[in-house]
Amino acid sequence: MSDFILVLDEGTTSTRAMLFDRSGTCRDSEGAALEQHYPRAGWVEHDAAQIWARTLACGRAVVDRAGGANRVAAIGIANQRETVVFWSKATGEPLAPAIVWQDRRTAALCRDLRERGEEAGVQARTGLLLDPYFSGTKIAWALEHWPQLRESGDDLAIGTVESWLVRKLTGAHLTDASNASRTLLMGLGTGRWDDGLLDLFGVPRGGLAEIVDNAGDFGTTDAFGGRIPICGLAGDQQAATIGQACLDRGEVKATYGTGAFVLANCGASPPASRHRLLSTVLWQLGGRRAYALEGSVFVAGSLMQWLRDSIGLIGQAGESEALARSVADNGGVYCVPALAGIGAPWWEAEARASLTGMSFSTTRAHLVRAALEAMAHQTHDLQTAFAADGAKWACLRIDGGMVANDWMAQDLADMLDLEVERPAFAETTALGAAMLAGVGCGWFADLAEAATMRGATERFAPAITARARDDRLRGWATAVETVVAAARR
């Protein structure tokens, strides 16, 4: 009997395989770290072969413990989105390093395209902005600088990480609409590759995958000891939005993982932002698309990792909550975590991180608290931009590894001045992929029925004065505007 959905949750720093039952309970999990490579300042790469090998090993481990492939009804895949992989159609082997979404090597290309006046047209077609974050500029750079890609001709396959995993699992070359919408190459309203955009970035259509729905029959694999259909595909942030059951227009979630990403369900019409937010496909089912407005923060949980591994301020991420609580306030210290540039609503690829306001009275606890406070400060900037675009938040549903920190969850409620809702099971990216696969394999009639998998939640209400909130936000505004201004000089 097929009791489980197997989710392959492909993150930036790790890959995991998770087994979900029909109630949404995660019955087993296996994870492995992924190595980040930094060949130059601002460059971030992965080894696509390692992504596949470690994903395969994790999947086999949980399937074996479940009693074999016959216990698994379907596979759902969620992935880091704008990361791009290059491989041989004939052999299925990588032809170059995977360029990670955090990579900033195309900053100069993006600046040149903006100066040529291309951004308005790109935004109108894709809902995105010209930033190194997105896959299209990464592909353009790779085709120019890596001769083995040009020389591969019609053998070259290009795709985001879910496309790479589907290729290794089934041999097919597919990409789902949510991931395709993050490439700078898909028309947001048409759901198809756009010839004008392909020409702009010099991308060969023959190298790109077929764009498909987020739930359905995407082929079967025998990689886990028996035939299992792949029935759900989604970019990680869209999967988390589904996992948070943001299924109605106006519902909003924020995920605090390596980066932080806020998505608001905008219904069946593509939203147009006037405040440098992104418009993106939330899901596509039966060829019909739902859309979201998105704000992207490049550095969130990776800031804690940096404080731990590079600076040595903390021994483990869990220490941050106790340190934040050990001081009454930030002591005037502000952290602008632009370690990989700064995202929405600023979009300044050349920005660099700063710590300001320090004195002899500043302690390690103040620095760590300032780093945690930056999560609420950046989210407040996004809240302001969403409201200006007509998407005011009534409640924010939060998830991701960072929100296990109760202090941070409360700080978000305090600085946003609204209720923040946290599910008991915070790994909503994987849960959303399970919901999609459940719809795709027939467990559920639709996403509304699948939403029963979400489970219990708890809420945090604002608990500080307006004056205290305003004082902190003024200090943050000075700090972030200084960083942005320095980058633009």
pLDDT in the model for residue 21: 96
pLDDT tens for residues 246-291?
Answer: 999 999 999 998 889 999 999 999 998 998 899 999 999 999 999 9
Q: Which residues contact 116 (CB under 8 A, 6 or more apart)?
A: none
CA distance 18 to 383: 32
Instruction: Kindly tell me the burial class for residue 254, based on how many C-beta atoms sit within 10 Å of its own C-beta (0-12, 13-18, 19 or more).
Output: buried
Q: Is residue 250 part of a domain?
A: no
pLDDT in the model for residue 350: 86
CA distance 450 to 442: 10
Residue 397 has pLDDT above 90, yes or no: yes
Q: Is residue 487 part of a domain?
A: no
Q: Is residue 91 part of a domain?
A: yes
Which structural domain range is residue 110 located in?
Answer: 4-235
pLDDT tens for residues 90-138?
Answer: 999 999 999 999 899 999 999 999 999 999 999 999 999 999 989 999 9
Residue 1 has pLDDT above 60, yes or no: no
Q: Is residue 150 part of a domain?
A: yes
**What is the domain-level CATH number for residue 163?**
3.30.420.40
Q: Is residue 128 part of a domain?
A: yes
As for how many domains the chain has, the answer is: 1
Residue 41 carries which DSSP code? T
pTM score, whole prediction: 0.90
Residue 176: name the closest of 269, 261, 299, 77 by CA.
77
* 320-345 exposure pattern, b = at least 16 Cβ within 10 A, e = fewer: bbebbeebeebbebbbbbbbbbbbbb
Q: Is residue 172 part of a domain?
A: yes
Q: What is the mean pLDDT of residues 467-482?
A: 96
Residue 192 has pLDDT above 80, yes or no: yes
Element (H, E) at 251: none
